[in-house]
Amino acid sequence: MKILNQTKLLALCLLAVACFAQSAVYAQQCSAMPESGTVYSIINRGSGLALDVNTSDSSSAPNIISYEYWGGNNQKFQLIQEADGYWIIRSKFNNKVLDVLNSSQSNGANIIAYDDWQGANQRWLLKASSSGGFNIVNKLTGKSLTVAGSNNTANVYQNDDAGISSQRWFINPVNGDCGTTGTTPSDLIGFASQAGQDGLSTTTGGGNNTAITVYSCDDLSTALSSGSAAVIQVPDNTVIDCRTANRTVPACPLDCGQWGDYGKTWYRIPVGNQSCSELGSSSNSTVNVTRNDRRIIVQSNKTLQGLGKNSKIIGASLVISNQRNIIIKNIMLEDINPALVEAGDAISIDDSSHVWVDHMAFNKISDGYIDVDNSQNVTLSWNRFYGHNTQVCANQHWYTHLFRNSQITAHHNFWDTAAGRNPKVDGYNSRVHMFNNYWKNITYFSISAGNGAEVLVENNYFENSAKPHWNQGSGYFSASGNIYTGRSATDQYRDSGAAVFGDVQLYPYRLDDPNSLGSKVNGGTGPQ
């Protein structure tokens, strides 16, 4: 009898532990983007009930209901992301996928579990909700996964999105905690983390594809320009040299004396019909110089990452044009015609969307370190921009960034010793959010805005930096929580007070104490 009681007690304890574990999964209420291939429970935010394959329905296409979560396989779903960003939601109970019955376009159409025939009615977009969870939207119909009530066995159907809690779902890993899994790393913040007009719910890059390791520039170029989703890795302690043989080009010489740097000449590369006098030269006569940069095209659905602090690419301009879903991280890009000006960007992003540049370092770049034009859902985080260059006038880089008509988040970046464009923001459609960044020794201007651009500047640190946030004409700044030291503290160009971002939805983010940014950003930026 005593043994029986102990056994019974042990069973009860194990049951309690199991219940607690299940409850913990429910209680997490996870809003982190899931990892492709991982198994999850899907919990309605309004009712607290789980998405459930009705086991009482013995048909070949059982109905989807909601039910109190108890951990059965009929309440577990493997989420698989395809190259276009849409998700398959596959039941662990019967291996069937969530399906809009008969591909109906109607509100109220039923959701079932059905054999996967790769129909658009079986593919779903995960849109992160600002109030927590996800709006799960059908690819075919554009309608949202909805639960009919808060009682066990409440039906699940599709309906036009009304922004209500019965249409929002927490996606909780069956094994693990919130944020410990994810094709998109948990540290992705900003516009790149949000759903966009390109149909993607977030930025995943190459996803979970098997990594390709590259050691040469040709291999790098082939991998980045392929039409397939890919994860491309540069090993630690590896330098990929993309410089070509020298080629001769005309350039305009400028006397650096006008910047107080006497005895030095600066060479600008004219673009189109530009004359040398337009570029600041004393005459329209050009001289021949050499350049050796290589343009590398980056196609959609790529992750390019370095594997350590010493992963480096030199002489390469990465060109992202009319593409989407790209991650570039943890690499030093340097030595793009450092003795010339306007002879190659490090990264150019044009007419593209969902691009994340993270923990990169940039040094001795001829033109823009990262230039962005007419692009959306872009995040720049934890990057270091070295501006010191003894081969140009005043030993400082001049054209670090041009952000034009784009939607960009920039946080925890370090602009270290440069002249202007850190960044220059231009255009009526620009919405640039800059928080927790660090500027040091900027001689011309830190941030400028013009022609209708809107910039939100929060909890940044400006150390001895000119024109911290400067309205060049018809720009709009809202600035708060920033610290200004040295020249920054006395500079009159700290424009603020405008109403900005009234037409965009911001994402969750945390404002650091700006006093901590000097050491935090100095040590945490660049390849790790």
pLDDT of 83 reads: 73
**Number of helical (H) and strand (E) elements in the chain, helices listed first:** 4, 43
pLDDT of 186 reads: 55
Within this chain, domains 25-183 and 211-244+292-524 share the same CATH topology: no
Q: Is the dihedral of CA 42, 47, 48, 51 positive or negative?
A: negative
C-alpha–C-alpha distance, residues 464 and 462, integer Å = 6
CATH code for the structural domain at 211-244+292-524? 2.160.20.10
Measuring CA to CA, how many Å separate 498 from each of 379, 435, 456, 474, 479?
A: 23, 17, 9, 11, 9
What is the token pair recorded at 390?
Answer: 């003894």
CATH pick for 25-183 out of 3.40.50.970, 2.80.10.50, 2.40.30.130, 3.40.50.720? 2.80.10.50
Q: Check: pTM over 0.85? Answer yes or no.
A: no
User: 271 exposed, middle or buried (CB, 10 Å; 0-12, 13-18, 19+)?
Assistant: exposed
Query: Which residues, in sequence order, are CB contacts of 336 under 8 Å at separation 6+?
Result: 293, 314, 315, 316, 317, 343, 344, 345, 346, 364, 365, 366, 367
pLDDT of 16 reads: 37
Termini Cα distance of the chain: 61
C-alpha–C-alpha distance, residues 346 and 245, integer Å = 18
pLDDT of 179 reads: 54
Q: What is the pLDDT along the chain (528 residues), one digit of tens a residue?
A: 333 344 333 343 333 333 333 333 334 678 777 888 889 999 999 999 999 999 999 999 999 999 999 889 999 999 998 877 889 999 999 999 999 999 999 999 999 999 999 999 999 999 877 567 889 999 999 999 999 999 999 999 999 999 899 999 999 888 766 654 334 455 799 999 999 999 998 999 998 788 899 999 999 999 999 999 999 999 999 999 999 999 999 999 999 988 888 989 989 998 888 899 998 888 889 999 999 999 999 999 999 999 989 999 999 999 999 999 999 999 999 999 999 988 999 999 999 999 999 999 999 999 999 999 999 999 999 999 999 999 998 999 988 999 999 999 999 999 999 999 999 999 999 999 999 999 999 999 999 999 999 999 999 999 999 999 999 999 999 999 999 999 999 999 999 999 999 999 899 899 999 998 988 898 899 998
C-alpha–C-alpha distance, residues 138 and 150, integer Å = 22
In the chain, the largest separation of any two C-alpha atoms, in whole Å, equals 106
C-alpha–C-alpha distance, residues 365 and 387, integer Å = 9
Q: Which residue has the tokens 């660049």?
A: 526
Q: Where are the domains of the chain?
A: 25-183, 211-244+292-524, 245-291
CB 342 within 8 A of CB 366: yes
CB 107 within 8 A of CB 160: yes
128 membership: H or E segment, kind and range? strand 124-128
> Do you know the residue count of the chain?
528
pLDDT of 28 reads: 63
DSSP bridge pairs for 248: 290
Helices (H), 403-527: 487-490, 517-524
User: 425 exposed, middle or buried (CB, 10 Å; 0-12, 13-18, 19+)?
Assistant: buried
